[in-house]
């Protein structure tokens, strides 16, 4: 859990707290490590909690979530926004026992929400950083797909289809997905014992001829051709022809299977020099927002 400690300097004129001048009260706001977002034209980054019901929110005017996802060639976006009247930061408390899901960004405010305290900072800054990570979800951690062992994942392309192995769902271009060639056969994170059907020292997920019969795996299909040798079976007791060295039927492949690349964005927010009347924090790690999507890879057949 992410904790924020605010120091309250209490004055006797404050109606909700009776104390002597100069008393200092420390309030601990215990929010989670993640935040949410909403807003089509004006982005609100917020986090809420119940018991007691509280919220922290930052409004970024004329900023959208898509703006924060415009990463550079290195998969990074960084921007510092000023906290001001246009981009206010708020701490609110509520009389509601539980807060509704439409607390922010609704065209019509929820009439059941009762705000008991609304403190706003009109100064400070907000550092936003987004990091994009792409993966092929093939069962092999990206770091283990550095075949050249040079720390550069971009130059590891076993099948030469222009898609690096770490985001290539079919590393060897045999039209059998890497995850289906059992690279981590016992799920222990060690790929040194990956499946090697023909025992030639090259694991199936990097072997273009899995059964060692001289016919490329991708060419061991029957009509109708569908770029999937796994469903072409002559002897059901042995399995697909591409794993049966006794079957060498050839139907030359003409294309690679399409590749799905998973995209994960992690947006982090750091607030600095926030000043909310009687609440103050020099630096506050607001947490992270994780978003996922996917794109289609376009392998070049060769």
6 and 117 together in one domain: yes
Would you say residue 237 lies in a domain? Answer: yes
Question: How many residues are given for the chain?
Answer: 302
Q: What is the pLDDT of residues 220-258, one digit of tens each?
A: 999 999 999 999 999 999 999 999 999 999 999 999 999
pTM (two decimals):
0.84
Q: Which residue has the tokens 């059992």?
A: 182
Determine, yes or no, domain membership for 92: yes
Q: What is the mean pLDDT of the chain?
A: 90
Same domain, 89 and 42: yes
Are 238 and 282 part of one and the same domain? Answer: no
Least Cα distance to 288 among 94, 133, 138, 141 occurs for 133
What is the SS3 string spanning 116-139? EEEEEECCCEEEEEEEEEEECCCC
Please indicate, yes or no, whether residues 109 and 32 belong to a single structural domain of this protein.
yes
- The tens digit of pLDDT for each residue in 6-49 reads 444 443 333 434 344 444 334 556 789 999 999 999 999 999 99
Q: Within a domain: residue 166?
A: no
| 6 plus 127 within the same structural domain | yes
Residue 161 lies inside a defined structural domain of this protein: no
**pLDDT at residue number 13:** 38
**Total domains in the fold of the chain:** 2
Domain with 194, as residue range(s), is 179-255
Residue 224 lies inside a defined structural domain of this protein? yes
Strands across the sheet with 89-94, in order? 36-38, 43-49, 54-60, 89-94, 115-121
């Amino acid at each position: 859990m992410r904790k924020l400690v605010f120091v309250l300097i209490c004055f006797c004129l404050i109606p909700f707290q009776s104390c002597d001048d100069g008393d200092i009260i420390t309030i601990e706001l215990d929010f989670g490590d993640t935040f949410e977002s909403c807003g089509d034209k004006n982005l609100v980054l917020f986090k809420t909690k119940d018991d007691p019901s509280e919220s922290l929110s930052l409004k970024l005017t004329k900023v959208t979530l898509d703006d924060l996802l415009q990463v550079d060639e290195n998969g990074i976006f960084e921007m510092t926004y000023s906290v001001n009247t246009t981009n206010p930061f708020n701490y609110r408390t509520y009389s509601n026992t539980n807060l509704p899901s439409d607390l922010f960004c609704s065209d019509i405010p929820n009439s059941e929400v009762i705000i008991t305290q609304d403190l706003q900072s009109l100064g400070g800054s907000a550092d936003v950083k987004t990091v994009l990570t792409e993966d092929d979800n093939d069962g092999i951690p990206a770091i283990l797909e550095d075949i050249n062992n040079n720390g550069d994942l971009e130059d590891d392309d076993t099948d030469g289809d222009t898609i690096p192995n770490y985001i290539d769902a079919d590393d060897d271009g045999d039209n059998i997905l890497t995850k289906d060639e059992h690279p981590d056969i016992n799920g222990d994170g060690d790929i040194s014992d990956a499946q090697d059907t023909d025992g030639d020292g090259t694991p199936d997920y990097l072997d273009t001829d899995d059964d060692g019969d001289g016919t490329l795996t991708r060419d061991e299909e029957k009509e109708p051709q569908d770029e999937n040798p796994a469903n072409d079976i002559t002897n059901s007791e042995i399995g697909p022809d591409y794993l049966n060295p006794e079957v060498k039927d050839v139907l030359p492949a003409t294309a690679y299977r399409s590749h799905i690349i998973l995209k994960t964005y992690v947006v982090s927010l750091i607030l600095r020099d926030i000043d909310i009347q009687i609440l103050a924090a020099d630096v506050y790690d607001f947490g992270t927002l994780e978003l996922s999507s996917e794109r289609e890879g376009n392998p070049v057949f060769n």
